[in-house]
Structure 1
Amino acid sequence: MTFDVVGTLIDFEAGLKDCLAGIASEAGVTIDGEEALTLYRQARYSDGADLFPDDLVRVYLAIAPTLGLPAERRYGERLRDSARSWKAFPDSAEALARLARDYRLVAMTNARRWAFDHFAAELGNPFHAAFTADDTGTEKPDPAFFERVFDFVASEGAGREDILHVAQSQYHDIGISRKLGMTNCWIERRHAQKGYGGTIEPAAFTTPDYHFTSMADLADAVATARK
């Protein structure tokens, strides 16, 4: 099983909103979390973007004026560094531990390795292997990212047809995994909320092979199927 990490297993939206709210409180202003995510998404996926989460310094300086926050680099660095303490979704670690009993789990993240190391520790270090933007030199949905993983899987005697790719992002993962002939599973983390939050909206929706609203539901379905 291959997994997107940020947004699927790690609640980056809550991490971003909490950090921005803390800065806002110190500045004596109030911000709307969903508005902040919309501004983040627009700034994050613009020209000149750096690798994630280093790019949060640039993003903060871009969105701070609109949110009424102090446009100072030290606050952008604070937002970037907040990634070290972002929390997993409540069901992520337990579900991964259950799945790891029977499957090799491979992380595929657009985050840099320094950030992924913190995410992996937060998740209980369940991964058999991991690929970051530093390892691949590119970001999903670039097919080259996936091809790097396919090469690794082939080195272990398997093929892309043996992989279940699990992710919440239609744009970064579900659409491209379908095009590359993978079986996929969409974890719809924002099922109770409108819009795409901090994740870019896809040009077209891709119906996944499997669809759950939590990692716990996926782990339960796998357990049932194996009986």
Structure 2
Amino acid sequence: MAVWTPKFITFDCYGTLINFDMAGAARRCYTDRVGADIMPAFITDFARFRLDEVLGAWKPYYDIVSSALQRTCRKWQVEWQPQDSDFIYADCKTWTAHPDVPEGLRKIAPSIPLVLLTNSMNDLIPHHVPRLGAPIHMTITAEETGAYKPAMRGFEYMLNKLECGPDEILHVSSSLRYDLMTAHDLGIKNKVFVNRGHEPGCPAYGYTEINDISELPAVVGL
């Protein structure tokens, strides 16, 4: 990608900026009920069921997590208890930013407004924005848009609220499935894939690949 200054840089938050440790939360919750030999597969299914849950009608993220957890437990014949969902949702509030995030964002924020488009809730995201270490111009949650990514509705809502077109933003995410495929389909040509190793890339979707946020300022000439 040639050096170009977007009107806004828009970000996925969890996984891209905040260390999305749902796998760790599941391990901590089920360490006494799920054997070490099946724990990786248990965690993988939990992630897949969460994606399936967000593809349906909007509901609070607690319910997304709880339903996916119950489906995972049924598949693996593990006892689910209501407090398990409470534990994992509470664990979400403790997550911190990836170490590379604050400095990288601080280099950009004075020149280009930073925007979050997140699958979070209005009561959950305030725990994480201060940990990013840089001014955030606008935060848009799935609760506000009434839709979870990868649905297009959140992106459309964001562009309307920012009063800009898809050609005026740079969208940054560590996920093809949740973000960059949808951004591509909406005509957002300027995209960055942060390869944090939790999801494979696909260059056919047309993005610049970086290893972490410390490399992002150079993408926009800062």
Q: Give the unaligned 5+ runs of structure 1.
A: none
| 8 Å CA contact retained: 2:184, 2:205 | no
| 8 Å CA contact retained: 2:73, 2:80 | yes
Paired residues, number: 210
Give the structure-2-normalised TM-score.
Answer: 0.82
Which residue does 2:46 correspond to in 1? 40
| 8 Å CA contact retained: 2:29, 2:88 | no
- Tell which deviates more after alignment, 177-186 or 43-52: 43-52
Which residue does 2:194 correspond to in 1? 187
Deviation, structure 1 residue 98: 1.6
Which residue does 1:120 correspond to in 2? 129
CA spacing shift, 1:165–1:174, aligned 2, 3 Å: same
Give the structure-1-normalised TM-score.
Answer: 0.80
CA spacing shift, 1:134–1:217, aligned 2, 3 Å: same
Higher relative contact order (CA 8 A, sep 6+): 2
Which residue does 2:19 correspond to in 1? 11
Aligned residue for 1:46, secondary structure, equals helix
Identity of aligned residues (%): 23
Deviation readout 1:97-128 (Å, 9 max, x if unpaired): 22112110010011112221112122136310
2:100 equivalent to 1:91 = yes
* 1:85 partner letter: T
Q: State the alpha-carbon separation in 2 of the partners of residues 67 and 92 from structure 1.
A: 36
- Tell which deviates more after alignment, 131-140 or 15-24: 15-24
Aligned residue for 1:161, secondary structure, equals helix
For 1:171-210, list aligned pairs within 5 A: 171-182=177-188, 183-190=190-197, 196=199, 206-210=204-208
* 2:214 partner letter: A
Q: State the alpha-carbon separation in 2 of the partners of residues 31 and 116 from structure 1.
A: 34
CA spacing shift, 1:88–1:95, aligned 2, 3 Å: same
* 1:212 partner letter: I
Aligned residue for 1:75, secondary structure, equals helix
* 2:85 partner letter: G
For 1:1-227, list aligned pairs within 5 A: 1-12=9-20, 15-27=21-33, 29-30=35-36, 34-46=40-52, 50-64=59-73, 70-124=79-133, 126-154=135-163, 158-182=164-188, 183-190=190-197, 196=199, 206-222=204-220, 225-226=221-222
Q: RMSD in angstroms over aligned alpha carbons?
A: 2.6
* 1:103 partner letter: I
* 2:146 partner letter: G
CA spacing shift, 1:20–1:41, aligned 2, 3 Å: closer
